[in-house]
Structure formats: structure tokens, C-alpha cells
Amino acid sequence: MLYIALIFSIAFAWLAWRRLDLALIMALFFLPTYQLRFSLLGLPLTFLEIMILICTGIWLIKKTNFLSFIKGQYAWQDYWQARKQRAPYPLRYEITLIILASYLGVIIAGFSNSALGIWKAYFFEPILMFVLVMNVFYEKDEKGKGSFAYDKVILPLLFSGLMVALVAIFQKFTGLFVVENFWPRVTGPFPYPNALGLYLAPLVMLATTFSIKNFELRIKNYKLIAGILLIINYLIAIVFASSEGALVGIMAGWFIMGLLWLGGRFKNEIFVGAAKFFVFLFLGFSLVAPWFFLKIVPENKYYNFSSSVLNFVSDKVLLKDFSGEVRKQQWRETWRMMNSDWKTFCFGTGLSGYQEKVSAYHQEGIFFNQERDPEFRRKIVWQEGDYKARHWRPVEIYMYPHNIFLNFWTELGLLGVLAFFAIFVKVFNNLFKMYKSMEAERWLILGLLGAFTAIVVHGMVDVPYLKNDLSVMFWTMLGLYAILKLKLKRINQRNN
């Protein structure tokens, strides 16, 4: 693998030197290659990391004054003088807080190899991708047109999603290359089914807005058909993976996009206001979801309807199915762990420290009431051991607590939660403002709002960021947001 990686790195560096934008497009298309791993001089690397680092190095050499600074031809005074003439980076304060929180996470983890690896793959390199996307694809044209640059970012992601979905569909119909522990659920090229839904849910939103764009332009119908086919393939793969959280996130994203599209179509601010209300409702609820399901929803009460379908939906929504009960048990254990001492409460467990720390509070399994028996609690206490054995389900220790803000809290502490929550609030708020003032880019704004909504809603019960490909995709979409933000600022300056 090392020799293959070296040959690939040389070829990719040549491409990046000639066409940095094409190299970035290739990196976005091959996000799942984080699973191809090798070691160089004892340093663990992936093919995805190699592509990001090479692109960053060549960007520094060709597009900045980095070499002049190294040679002593570009002093700090020159840097600060030039900085005054440049537009400041969007989200710069939040990014600074995240970098600081991730450093603290490494320190708390004792500079372990796993903590350094997570810092490198989930924070450092994804933020590099944010910088690259924003600088390479930001077209500084006087008319403010940038749809071509946007397509260069979105299309490789969409086709990457198509390859992932086709692998999953192939697995379902052939039974080949499947992860046996999860069958009949499929995983695509990933090691577990939920990874498929986490990867594809935001791309469903981008494919939807790509289709809306071509529908409204009423030209190039093949692009509209292509967008619809992408969505169909994504959804089929997600259904085959039985990723219910992804489907709920997609429905929430479509709901927000639908309200905004109606608002733009009929020039009615009520729809836009409703979309904004629901987005922040989803965001706020994701923050308190563990508390709501543990403290507000009655633990042993089941709602019985005349329809088994409604009973099924009720159990899913209220997290009373087995998957939901496992999530609630994780949250209980996490809450006890985080309240064990003030250091853990404030600073978390450190990067990669959750599993080891929570093990002291872990319950080996749960009693699951699969029959929805109202006398279940009493029977578990008083019935013979056979009844208990039939309802006992083992529960493993997962890598993360499976709630988007608990995930950040355990890994990065309160500072990391604050920074990421601030990013979501700022991005959602500014995207709604952009939707009203940037009519030419509304299709992209729709897609970003839908994608981030899907991430937040899916993240109520899963881990939509702490993974190599997901973190890079997240910061890539933030790079698109940053381009829109800079473009809007330039337009406002020109109008004033």
C-alpha cells in the first residue's frame, strides 16, 4: 500500500500543480478514500488526507506569499498591511474557538496517538478544506456570478454520493461485499449502515436544489433528469441501509426547502418566516433532545392506536423501539459521566476518550419491552429468570453518545459545543438573509439550508460530524457559505 500511495501522491501533486481546482474536485469526489490507510515514517495517513495536504501545500506555494516569507522577502509588516486590504474570513472567531477546543481535547487525552489522529482528520484537515474551497472557488468577477464555481464543488460531491449509493444497491441485489453482522442492511463502501445515511442525507438536499435550479431555468432538461435520478438512487440506498434517522433528516430538510421555495415562488414572507422558525426550533430541540426523551416522555407508557402502523411510528418518534432505547441508555450513561467531576463537565473526555471514560458508567445491556406490555416493569422485577432472559439485550460501548451536541461536549468540552452551536446559529441566520437579497444564488442557499437542517435533525440521534468524510463535507459546505458571504459583502459595498 505504501508504494501505491507514493505513486498516487506524485501523480496527484503533478495534477494539483497544473490545475489546483481539478485536484480539489478529485479530492471531493474521493471522500470515502479515507478508508485507504497507510503509514509514512510511522505517521498514519489516508489517501483523503494526502490529497488535502498536497492541495494545501501547493496553494501555499503558488497562491500566497508563503515562500517569500520563508526566504525573508515578506515580513510580518507586509502581512499585516496586506491583511487590511483583504476581506476577513467568515466564521473566523468560531473557527479559532474550535481549533482551541480541539487543542485542549488533545491535551486532556494526554497527546495520545488516537487523539492526535482525530484532531488531524476531524478538525485540522477539514478546516484546511474550508480554506481551500473558499479561496480556490471564489470567483472575483465584477458581476458577482459564481454558479460555475459552485457546480465545481457540488457536482463531485453528488457523483461521489452516486458511487456510494450504487455500491449499496449492488450489495442488496447480489449479497456480495456485505458486512455480515448487519445483513440484510447494506453499508455501501462503509463499515456500518448508518454511515451510508450520514453521507447521503446532505447530498439528497444538494441534489434536490440542483434539480430545482434546472427546473426553474427550464433549459438543459437532461440535468434535471440527472438530478432526479441521483435523488432516487440516494433514497434507495438509504432505505436498503434502514437508516431511519437519515430519512427523518431528509424530510425535515425538504420541509424547510419547500417552505422557502413557496416563499420565493409566491413572494410571500410568511413562508420564509415559517421556515426560519422551524429551522431554529429543530436546532434548539437537538440541543435538549436527550433531556426531553429522558425526562419528559413517560418511560414505560406506550400509546396504542387502532393501526399497527401508527403504533410503529409512535414508537419510532418517541424512541421506544430498540434503537431508541439504546440511544436513551447512552445518554443516561453520558450524563452521569459528564457530571462525575467539574473537569469532565467543562472540558469533556478529550479527543477519543469517551469510550474509556464512559465504561465506568456503562450498563452491559437493557431490558427491552418488544411486546409493548404495560405490565413489563412489574414482570421484570417479579417474574422468573426466563422472562428476564428473553427480554435482555446486550448494549456495546459506542465511540460517541449519538447526539450532535453531546458528541461535541464529550470530545471538545463546553467551548467546542459553544463554537459549533454558534456556527449553526450564524450560518442559518445569514443564509436566510442571503435568501432575501441574493436571488441569483437562491438555489444554492436552498441546498445549504436543507443540508444543514438534515445534519442537525439526523444529529439528534446520531454522529453527523465525527468522521473523516463527514467532517470534510461539513466544512466544504461551510466553504460555499463563506463564498456567498463574501460575495454579498462585495455586492453591498458596490451598491453603497
Is the pLDDT confidence value at 227 over 70? yes
- Among 86, 113, 130, the domain boundary falls at 86
Residues 351 and 461 in one domain: yes
Q: What per-residue string of b and e applies to 128-141 under the rule 16 or more CB within 10 Å gives b? A: bbbbbbbbbbbbee
Higher pLDDT, 188 or 374: 188
Is the pLDDT confidence value at 206 over 50? yes
Q: Does the residue 387 lie in any domain? A: no
pLDDT confidence tier of residue 253, bands split at 50, 70 and 90: very high
Residues 496 and 349 in one domain: yes
Give whichever of 37-41, 214-218, 416-420 has the largest mean pLDDT. Answer: 416-420
Residues 112 and 72 in one domain: no
Residues 308 and 405 in one domain: yes
Between 76-85, 202-211, 427-436, the lowest mean confidence (pLDDT) is in 76-85
Averaged pLDDT, 226-231: 92
- Sequence-distant (≥ 6) Cβ neighbours of residue 202 within 8 angstroms: 451, 452, 454, 455, 473, 477
pLDDT confidence tier of residue 272, bands split at 50, 70 and 90: very high
- For the whole model, what pTM was predicted? 0.94
N- to C-terminal Cα distance for the chain?
Answer: 57
Between 61-65, 217-221, 276-280, the lowest mean confidence (pLDDT) is in 217-221
Secondary structure of the chain: what % helix, strand, coil (to 5)? 75, 5, 25
pLDDT confidence of residue 40: 78
Averaged pLDDT, 336-363: 94
Cβ of 293: how many Cβ atoms within 10 Å? 20
Is the pLDDT confidence value at 94 over 60? yes
- Among 67, 86, 105, the domain boundary falls at 86
Q: What per-residue string of b and e applies to 350-364 under the rule 16 or more CB within 10 Å gives b? A: bbbbbeebbeebbee
Cβ of 118: how many Cβ atoms within 10 Å? 24
Q: What per-residue string of b and e applies to 150-162 under the rule 16 or more CB within 10 Å gives b? A: bbbbbbbbbbbbb
Q: Which helix (H) or strand (E) holds 46?
A: strand 43-46
pLDDT confidence tier of residue 82, bands split at 50, 70 and 90: low
Averaged pLDDT, 276-292: 95
Question: Residue 127 in contact with residue 99, Cβ under 8 Å?
Answer: yes
Residues 227 and 208 in one domain: yes
pLDDT confidence tier of residue 144, bands split at 50, 70 and 90: very low
Residues 43 and 120 in one domain: no
pLDDT confidence of residue 95: 96
Q: Does the residue 367 lie in any domain? A: no
Residues 72 and 160 in one domain: no
pLDDT digits (tens, 9 = 90+) for 459-473: 999 999 999 999 999
Q: Coil, helix or strand for 290?
A: helix
- Domain membership of residue 444 as a residue range: 91-362+397-496
Residues 225 and 81 in one domain: no
Residues 116 and 102 in one domain: yes
Is the pLDDT confidence value at 488 over 90? no
Is the pLDDT confidence value at 155 over 70? yes
Is the pLDDT confidence value at 352 over 60? yes
Averaged pLDDT, 337-348: 94
Q: Does the residue 392 lie in any domain? A: no
Q: Which helix (H) or strand (E) holds 3?
A: helix 2-18
Residues 45 and 186 in one domain: no
The mean predicted confidence, pLDDT, of the chain is 89
pLDDT confidence tier of residue 140, bands split at 50, 70 and 90: very low
Is the pLDDT confidence value at 212 over 50? yes
Report percent pLDDT > 90 for the chain: 63
Is the pLDDT confidence value at 481 over 90? yes
Residues 280 and 413 in one domain: yes
Q: Does the residue 98 lie in any domain? A: yes
pLDDT digits (tens, 9 = 90+) for 316-339: 889 999 999 999 999 999 999 999
Averaged pLDDT, 239-243: 95
Strand partners, 471: none
Q: Does the residue 372 lie in any domain? A: no
Q: Does the residue 379 lie in any domain? A: no
Is the pLDDT confidence value at 23 over 80? yes
Residues 194 and 55 in one domain: no
Is the pLDDT confidence value at 202 over 50? yes
Question: Residue 452 in contact with residue 280, Cβ under 8 Å?
Answer: no
Q: Does the residue 205 lie in any domain? A: yes
Number of domains in the chain: 2
pLDDT confidence of residue 80: 59
pLDDT confidence of residue 218: 64
pLDDT confidence of residue 85: 64
- Among 47, 69, 86, the domain boundary falls at 86
Question: Residue 165 in contact with residue 236, Cβ under 8 Å?
Answer: yes
Q: Does the residue 373 lie in any domain? A: no
pLDDT confidence of residue 141: 42
